[in-house]
Every structure is written in structure tokens, then in C-alpha cells.
Amino acid sequence: MNADFSRVLSLLRQEKGISQRRAAAALGISQALLSHYENGIREPGLNFVTKACDYYHVSADYLLGRSLSRDGAMIEAEELADASEGKEDMKGSMMAKLQKKLLVNTASVLFDLLGRTNNKEAVAHAGEYLSGALYQMFRLLYRAAGGNEGYFSTGCASFNMDIMSADMTLARVRYAKALEEYKGEYPPMDSQSLAEEYQGLSQSIAQVLHNADERVKKLEE
């Protein structure tokens, strides 16, 4: 049984707003055994998984962490909400809105360019790298807001030791390797071509790259 199972099992109970004792009684096991399941100390049998799915009205794939959809369906790209469209009413400061637009625009161009190469490995590793950065920013915010970090399956000790940065480094290495081994043609990448191909978005790319360069220059001084 994977680590996602215990995390999801615990979150479903908390979401339902019931105690371990009440959930255990409904599921036909002792509170101690349910506690072991929720903390990953013991692995349940198929009979318990079936009961838990029926009790919380979710699929086995969702309970086992194999799907983000409660009915077990695998989410397709076209089903995902696009935060870059129709969200001009985003709450917060103008700085937050600006940063969001800069990063969303730049990421959109990056994945469009990668998609045009059809280099699936590079696309996957770029996603892994960026999702690692977002994971860290989101988790630190979640922690600062007093959230229960049981929401995350990576333990606090590992996270505090910067394990996500190690994962990002590995993703970057694999991304570079995928690009190096690619035998096809790349789309034009000079500034003029980007400006012509991505009118309105190339300015965001230039700003993001400039900001990063300026930060690095200060480190080099």
C-alpha cells in the first residue's frame, strides 16, 4: 500500500468532520487499527479498502492516490481549469497579479515550444521541475497559515532537509539530458522569432529572464 493511502484516508475522515472512534465503528474496526491505517503503520486488506470507498463515497483509485478525481477518472488536460483565462479578478495586490501574469505567460511559451518538438521526456521533466518549485512555495505558505501538514505525504523532516530541492535538481538534470539526446529540430529561439511568434507574451519572457539575471548578478558581486 502506498503512502498516499494513509494520507487520503485521514483527510477524508477530517473532511467528513468525524472522530476516529466514530469512523472506526462505521467501518467495523477498532479505533486503534484505524489509527494505524491513517498513520501508515499497518496495511489494510481489500475488504477494508472496499468498505472505506463505500463509506466515503470515493473510488479505490482516489483512495490509493492513483487519481485526483473522486470517481476514479484520470483527469485529461482539457478538463483542467485554466488559471490564465478569465481570472482578471484575482484577489491580492497588483504585485501578485503582475507576477502571476509574468510566470503564467512564460510557462505557457516554454511548454508550447517544448510541445512543438514532441520531446515527451523534456516536457515531463520540465513539469517535474516547476511543480517542485510550486510545491515548496505552496507548502511554506500552507505552513505559515497554520495548516495541518498531514495534507502532504512528504514528511516535515524530509521537507525541512530540502528534499524537494534535490528532486528538482534531478528533474533539471534529466531535462537537460532529454534535450541533449533529442535528434529532431527545434523551433526558432532568437529574440526576434519569439517576439513575432508570441506577440504580447515575449515581453513577459524578457522580463522574467531579466529579473532572474539581475538577482544572480547580485550574488556574483
Q: Please write the tens of the pLDDT for every residue from 110-123.
A: 999 999 999 999 99
pLDDT value at 92 more than 80: no
**Which residues lie closer than 8 Å to 20 by C-beta, 6 or more apart?**
13, 31, 34, 35, 38
pLDDT value at 74 more than 80: no
Q: What pLDDT does residue 177 have?
A: 97
- Report, as an integer, the average pLDDT of 124-140: 94
Closest CA to 104 of 85, 118, 91, 80: 85
pLDDT value at 75 more than 80: no
Band of pLDDT at residue 132, cut at 50, 70 and 90: very high
Q: How far apart are CA 119 and CA 176, in angstroms?
A: 12
Q: What pLDDT does residue 80 have?
A: 47
pLDDT value at 90 more than 60: no
pTM of whole model > 0.95?
Answer: no
Domain at 3-63: CATH architecture: Orthogonal Bundle (1.10)
Q: What pLDDT does residue 211 have?
A: 85
**What is the CA 82 to chain-centroid distance, rounded?**
15
pLDDT, tens digit, 9 for 90 and up, residues 23-41: 999 999 999 999 999 988 9
- Report, as an integer, the average pLDDT of 81-109: 72
Instruction: For residue 42, give the C-alpha cell.
Output: 499497518
pLDDT, tens digit, 9 for 90 and up, residues 166-191: 999 999 999 999 999 999 999 988 88
Which is more confident, 159 or 77? 159
Domain range annotation of the chain: 3-63, 82-220
- Report, as an integer, the average pLDDT of 63-67: 76
What average pLDDT is seen over the chain? 85
